[in-house]
Structure 1
């Protein structure tokens, strides 16, 4: 009997293998048939310290027996209070308020609604959102609207709202990006906000840009009183080498989106942090000016407990040191892969390494990525290339020997592609 499960980003008509994962530990997934898979992409960019991290697992178990779920509209609980205070301390200075939700997409939706509500409550008709070329911010309607138009959202175009796009700041073209952003921010009809993925665009192909460029874009927005939204759903919690990517540019956004690694990747939780000005524009004795957003599982106590355990790990253990060790191993791996004639444009930031395959069809729907993924799966590596971009984003516990193993599998997979 076939499974009734409908999997995300999966074309079931192709009949591709769907392995069943029975357990996990560290950097490894254990299949029901006895095979092991090295998790080369942190199970879609969420696992940070490793699968089934003991401190996080213990926190989840303890909380599940004490308080599992409660309404968060007008009520609170200790785990959420502790986590919110910790996030305010850890985040760039000036983000004083925390709104919880349950995924990266909803963290972005919350940010967009905060931005629009801010201007509405101040009596200013500012509705346009500025976005960065090649960006991706999630799969709900608002999040799709501020992402690149592509096959990902073509069927849903009638639902999406219009945005203005700023060119990606590729090396040597940074000034063009700043000029375009300046022109949009200075337009007679001022935009409401500019949303960016700081330092690296994930689904866009692991496209990296400099911290100096991030800071310059923030400065343009500040000069024109345009809200700056940093989507750190992927880049947060150490992926770029620092706790948050914004740290490397020395900036504080007006709104910061967090998810994925917030709980170490164990359970779903998101947070949208906002400045006092944005909070105050919603605070009033008029009920009509409240922030109209929630979900049933807002600030779920079990998820907040997992996040508090994750925060404790960051405070008490040398996580940056682990990321540095991982980065060195990824550098060595990229050097090996760069010797392959079919690979080029190797790049690394923090615990993310990427390299591009020389192909004529580099689109998301080409057969390159599925073939590479299938070869890696057969060899014991969980890989999910983005078109012709092959990347590794493993948990921070992954050893240099495991990275070398992953690199060897990738090298063989590229050879097999030519066969």
Structure 2
């Protein structure tokens, strides 16, 4: 089997996600990358080339490809139980996983509801909040507040509370009626402001929305600290603290979507810890299983749980289900992932790696076409602009970020961009030398991408 064999068969049969397939067809300019296997931070194609996975395969991989500890856990579980319905049945891996998630997440989150993927987890959170208010006698609370530039998934409810036009514009007629407010994006700081100042200034918009709409709002949803699909825009934890206080004061739920930023990505195990806050709903996925199998966990409070705990005849139960909910294989992968966090100094090592990323990226601040170099923990981003002084962006149609991506492939690095933003979100097993390599390749790609 060769790369060309796989490419040819793929293009006859597959429709890839988040992809204009013409880019990869006969008239296209992008190479389809066949992958045969993975090991640690590396992906290997069928022709013997390797690529450093700088983006953790869409932000899911924490401890490297083919991790021996997670592999062994799955091999053991597959001979015991591959799957069983979770409605009316239970099993040891799902019980242990739920117990351990309660133990490690912010205090007060005492119940775990499982789904199949991140979008499904957000969908469940929206429905559960809406249904809670109905069950406690406030059926008028049916709307949600989201932030500008937010992304929460691509099912209809999750897309409704998102605000990235590329994903939602086509489907506007299907959307829920959501209140959208300007967010605390630190990219838009004014001279003399730091990110905490921006958070406080921008929170006025949220306060106004809550004062006006709290009577009809079920929940506010936020991606703590980093809006990943929104071009890796970042904000200060001060906004989380202000938001938690305001939601309590106005009687509105707070949903924290940590699907992309949870499990150590921002420097703490969960980004909410930096508030520090406890949301009413915490959505987790991606890194939950170490990048092995699809699973989402929605954690909530016992107060929410008790609003659904009633006689069957009242029909107050939460009728939301997925066939593969609580899949034992996914649970064992998640437990093995948590074992690694428990037995190894992951967060301490991440802080050292994050400091090294910051040191290596810092010189890019002086590049004439770099408007911003930003970072939260193991997530770092570099934003290209046409004019540095005015921060005028390159026209999106020029797709400059793809020049960095193409160059990266020639050098053995997988640096998939977000528009004109090139970023690093690598597996935690990366070394400082491998970080050096990625930053060098990124810098070379930026020079290529910004040539007139």
Same fold judged by TM-score > 0.5? yes
Deviations along 1:218-248, one digit per CA (max 9) or x if unpaired, are: 1111111100000000110000001000111
Separation of aligned partners in 2, 1:173 and 1:346: 17
Matched, 1:403 2:417: no
Separation of aligned partners in 2, 1:49 and 1:254: 29
TM-score (norm 1): 0.97
Aligned counterpart, 2:72: 58
Matched, 1:178 2:203: yes
Aligned counterpart, 2:422: 390
Separation of aligned partners in 2, 1:78 and 1:158: 44
Separation of aligned partners in 1, 2:257 and 2:340: 23
Aligned counterpart, 2:95: 81
The 5 Å alignment of 1:5-404 reads 5-15=14-24, 16-124=30-138, 125-169=140-184, 170=186, 171=195, 172-187=197-212, 189-287=215-313, 288-359=315-386, 361-362=393-394, 366-404=398-436
User: Quick one: higher RCO (CA 8 Å, sep 6+), 1 or 2?
Assistant: 1
CA contact (8 A) 1:363 1:387 kept: no
Separation of aligned partners in 2, 1:397 and 1:363: 36
CA contact (8 A) 2:200 2:238 kept: no
CA displacement at 1:105 relative to structure 2: 0.6
Separation of aligned partners in 2, 1:283 and 1:365: 52
Deviations along 1:341-373, one digit per CA (max 9) or x if unpaired, are: 222311111101111112255465542122221
Secondary structure in structure 2 of the residue aligned to 1:49: coil
CA contact (8 A) 1:196 1:229 kept: yes
Q: 1:126 to 1:183 in 2, by over 3 A?
A: same
Separation of aligned partners in 1, 2:335 and 2:37: 24
TM-score (norm 2): 0.90
CA contact (8 A) 1:101 1:107 kept: yes
CA contact (8 A) 1:218 1:228 kept: yes
Separation of aligned partners in 2, 1:408 and 1:159: 44
Secondary structure in structure 2 of the residue aligned to 1:205: coil
Separation of aligned partners in 1, 2:205 and 2:362: 36
Separation of aligned partners in 2, 1:89 and 1:365: 47
CA contact (8 A) 2:200 2:239 kept: no
Separation of aligned partners in 2, 1:121 and 1:351: 41
Segments of structure 1 that go 5 or more residues without pairing to the other structure are none
Q: Which moved more, 1:111-120 or 1:174-183?
A: 174-183
Secondary structure in structure 2 of the residue aligned to 1:131: strand
